[in-house]
Amino acid sequence: MARTRLPKGGAATLQELCRHGELTRRELQGLLEVSGPTVTRVVAHLDELGLLEAEVVGDGALGRPAATIRLSESGLAAIVVSLTAPGTVVALASMSGTVTESLSVDVTAEVPYEAAVERISEAVTTLLGRARGRFRALAGVGISFGGAASFGEGRLTMPSGFPQWHGRALAADIQQLVGLPTFIDNQPVGYIRALRWFDPQGLEDRYLCFADYGIAGCSSAGMPRPDRGVSTGGFGHLGGRVSGTEQCWCGLYDCLNTRASLRALRAWGARRDLVTPDAHIPEIVSALEADPEGREALEAAAGELVTATLDACRVLGLPGYLLGGALFDTSAVAREAATKAVEVNRRIATGSFLPTGWSNRGPFLSASAIVADGMALSGRIETLNPRV
């Protein structure tokens, strides 16, 4: 394994191919706003590294054959980690974010930090060995963290659902054990990064409301550079007070997290004996949707989240927003309520849900985009198999 520098413009070229699937050289030239010879040089270098493949599809300019360029299925990959309080999965994914193999790892918020680092690193090392026979190169390791994290510092920050891990340099500690460049970011910010890497409309300025066990929100407009950190925690604590009924782990009372998150809905259901205090997402949603008051609670949570997101759009001057996370992915009741609220408020801002198909792939797309931005920042990849 050797560290190899990408050509200038190489990361941007890979990003456009991730977003659009396949492109001609002329299309790449227009998207990248560079000269034809520059595109030819970059494509040739990436092809030499084994990251691209081309197919002649017809006549181009001046009657010359035209070729579409796309990412090679055996070219660039990444090892991606979805790390949340309920559990952890480590996977091997192609540059387009498609998972080829995954391993469940016994790491939750209750696991001691040192043991968690060791277990994740063992899984990464296992998948690194398997990647050698499938891919030409690796971008590195990307961690999509279900809590507060700093991409620039590579460490966990407060607040989060991992109270014993606060301040730890998780990315650096894993990198030291596995020998691969490792990057970490908050999961919702990873979704914004994923929109910019995998969605053709991903460069549009939109606000993302992410509703899971916790609530987070961030704006794509806040990410003009891969290395720029974006705070997401403040959104979930909107409306917080120094005293009240329900206390959040941030220390405030009655903030958005205590009213509209799946953690809050689970606590609400547990007090009414609808679910157990440790119920998982499918159980929470199923129990609440089967109960009239539970359905009202889901509808109220969805409506409140849309209202808070619209307020964020007003403050930031954004014309549109996206709704995502397990609440909207798993609850038809919450999704329907949100859809109605989106329609009623369409004159304020245009709302929609995260792209279809992201429900299951989302955490891995988030992690793939985190490592892709890390690769773009460093300008390097890890070569596994030289082209024969």
CB 146 within 8 A of CB 161: yes
* Secondary element (H or E) of residue 188: helix 187-198
Average pLDDT of the chain is: 87
Q: Once rounded to an integer, what is the mean pLDDT over residues 165-170?
A: 91
Note the pTM of the prediction, 2 decimals. Answer: 0.83
- What's the pLDDT band for 251 if we cut at 50, 70, 90? confident
| Residue 337 dihedral angles phi and psi, to the nearest 5° | -65, -40
- What's the pLDDT band for 224 if we cut at 50, 70, 90? very low
- What's the pLDDT band for 229 if we cut at 50, 70, 90? very low
Distance, CA of 182 to CA of 173 (rounded, Å): 9
The 3 state secondary structure assigned to 51-97 is CEEEEEEEECHHHCEEEEEEECCCCEEEEEEEEECCEEEEEEEECCC
Residue 187 is which amino acid? Q
Q: Once rounded to an integer, what is the mean pLDDT over residues 241-264?
A: 85
Q: Strand pairing partners for 79?
A: 92, 141
- Where is pLDDT greater, at 108 or 371? 371
Which pLDDT does position 48 carry in this prediction? 93
1-12 pLDDT tens trace: 788 999 999 999
Q: Once rounded to an integer, what is the mean pLDDT over residues 132-139?
A: 94
In the chain, the domains with their CATH numbers are 2-71 (1.10.10.10), 76-193+361-383 (3.30.420.40), 202-354 (3.30.420.40)
- What's the pLDDT band for 217 if we cut at 50, 70, 90? confident
* 119 burial type by CB count under 10 A (0-12 exposed, 13-18 middle, 19+ buried): middle
Which pLDDT does position 2 carry in this prediction? 87
- Where is pLDDT greater, at 360 or 107? 107
Q: Once rounded to an integer, what is the mean pLDDT over residues 313-339?
A: 92
Which pLDDT does position 262 carry in this prediction? 92
Does 226 score more than 80 pLDDT? no
Two tokens at 112? 């001691």
CB 338 within 8 A of CB 305: yes
Does 225 score more than 50 pLDDT? no
171-210 pLDDT tens trace: 999 999 999 999 999 888 888 888 889 887 765 778 889 8
Which pLDDT does position 11 carry in this prediction? 95
Angle ∠(59,60,62) on CA atoms, nearest 5: 100
Q: Where are the alpha helices (DSSP H) in 132-186?
A: 170-178
Interaxial angle between packed helices 10-20 and 358-378, expressed in degrees from 0 to 180 and rounded to the nearest 10: 170
